[in-house]
Chains A and B, each alone.
Chain A
Amino acid sequence: GESVGLHLPTLSVQEGDNSIINCAYSNSASDYFIWYKQESGKGPQFIIDIRSNMDKRQGQRVTVLLNKTVKHLSLQIAATQPGDSAVYFCAENTNGNQFYFGTGTSLTVIP
């Protein structure tokens, strides 16, 4: 089956620092990836996505990097703010079929 795993279950960063959240995936055929943010008591919120024909995509304060060679995905958050504290999930998809999710990384921003 699919396997999407996260390198670190928890991450603490100082406010204003940059955060990097990592994700490993096992299916080399995966062609689409999403990062989600989930705050306590809420559903996952779409942050940014990337297709396999790209290796980098930038959004507002966030950047996703895709390294297909080592099947690794990362989410970079610039100037991390207290409101960024949440659990972050990566999800991967192959040919438009079902998404597979990582276990999540809990990000805590220290004021």
Chain B
Amino acid sequence: KAGVTQTPRYLIKTRGQQVTLSCSPISGHRSVSWYQQTPGQGLQFLFEYFSETQRNKGNFPGRFSGRQFSNSRSEMNVSTLELGDSALYLCASTDREVGHYEQYFGPGTRLTVT
């Protein structure tokens, strides 16, 4: 099976702009989680989508949002970008349906806000 894919791999944006990142999970996986990774904070959970519904949400401001499509692909959006949003954004997919929680990550999208 193909792994988790994320696009784009790199992005440079300016403060105040918005950005949309995309994630395609492993075929058959219906759960997609998003994480922000920074050197200072490590891996922080943003949210999880399962069957197009947000299932869990981390402690991030409302500027961070996401959605999931019927084919399980997911997007996350960050509005009004701040310098502190510069990070590696990772998505991970899980096959929850059969009770297995192995979570596999994509390569990430490196977002730089200037």
Contacts and interface: CB of A to CB of B under 8 A. Distances in A.
Interface in A7-49: 32, 34, 36, 42-46, 49
B103 interface: yes
A98 interface: yes
B43 A46 contact: no
Interface residues on B, range: 20 to 34
Interface string B71-114: 00000000000000000001010001001011111111000000
A98 B58 contact: yes
A98 B107 contact: no
A76 interface: no
Interface stretch (A56-64, A66-74, A89-97): A89-97
Interface residues on A, range: 20 to 34
Contacts of B106: 43
Contacts of A104: 42
Given A43-B90, A44-B90, A98-B58, A34 B103 contact: yes
B108 A99 contact: no
A88 interface: no
A103 interface: yes
A98 B56 CA distance: 7
B102 A34 contact: yes
B64 interface: no
B107 A43 contact: yes
B24 interface: no
A36 B105 contact: yes
Contacts of B6: 43
B33 A99 contact: yes
Nearest to B31: A96
Contacts of A42: 107-108
18 contacts: A36-B105, A43-B4, A43-B6, A43-B106, A43-B107, A44-B92, A46-B102, A46-B103, A46-B104, A46-B105, A93-B101, A96-B99, A98-B48, A99-B33, A99-B45, A101-B43, A102-B42, A103-B42
